[in-house]
Amino acid sequence: MEKTYSIKEVADYFKLPISTIRYYDKKGLLPFVSKNEAGYRVFSESDFGFIKTICCLKNTGMPIKDIQTYIELCMQGTRTIDQRKEMLQQHKQNVVQKQQLLAESLQEINTKIERYDSKDSQTIISAQIKFVKDEKRDLHLKDPFI
């Protein structure tokens, strides 16, 4: 016999607070979850697959409303495959763009860390401060350094 799972077991597995799972359910992200006679949520193995997808979309920044739309399409069977594909392709573009921005910004952070880490850091930063101070003075603007 296959096992069923409580909300706590699911929460522990996905490292999500129970309150978040209930919130997702309220927002229509978990239409596949049943309830028992007492009104308790009862999860099956296959629900874990859906929830993994939800986490994946959430982790990549898809808004709750859009995840809800996607899941709803999933519940409508094979006839929504094209719509789902289009949603994911659009979302993928966003994610790739996010990745690029992240990579570029990380690049900059690394450059700064290297500068701070170099043996000439004092000299380099001093020169930068002097540059700013000179520019501000030339423009009759206040010196921003304390």
For its own copies, the binding residue among 8, 27, 65, 112 (CB under 8 A) is 112
Instruction: Identify the DSSP state of 35.
Output: E
Strand-pair partners of 43 = 5
Number of neighbours of residue 94 by Cβ within 10 angstroms:
12
**Among DNA, its own copies, none, partner that 127 touches (CB below 5 to 8 angstroms by kind):** none
Structure tokens at 85: 């594909």
Q: What single string gives the DSSP state of each residue in 88-131?
A: HHHHHHHHHHHHHHHHHHHHHHHHHHHHHHSTTHHHHHHHHHHH
Token representation of residue 58: 């959430």
- Which one of 9, 27, 65, 75 is in contact with its own copies (CB under 8 A)? 75
Q: Does 125 bind its own copies (CB under 8 A)?
A: yes
**Least Å from the CB of residue 132 to its own copies:** 4
- Interface with its own copies, residue 95, by CB under 8 A: yes
| Cβ within 8 Å of residue 87, ≥6 positions away | 66, 69, 70, 73
26-85 positions binding DNA, by CB under 7 A: 26, 35-41, 58, 63-65
- DSSP state letter for 5: B
Q: How far is the CB of 23 from its own copies (least distance, A)?
A: 19
Would you tell me which residues interact with its own copies (CB under 8 A)?
A: 1-2, 4, 31-34, 42, 44-46, 52-53, 56-57, 59-60, 75-78, 81-82, 84-85, 88-89, 91-92, 95-96, 98-99, 101-103, 105-106, 108-110, 112-113, 116-117, 121-122, 125-126, 129, 131-132, 135-136, 138-139, 141-142, 144-146
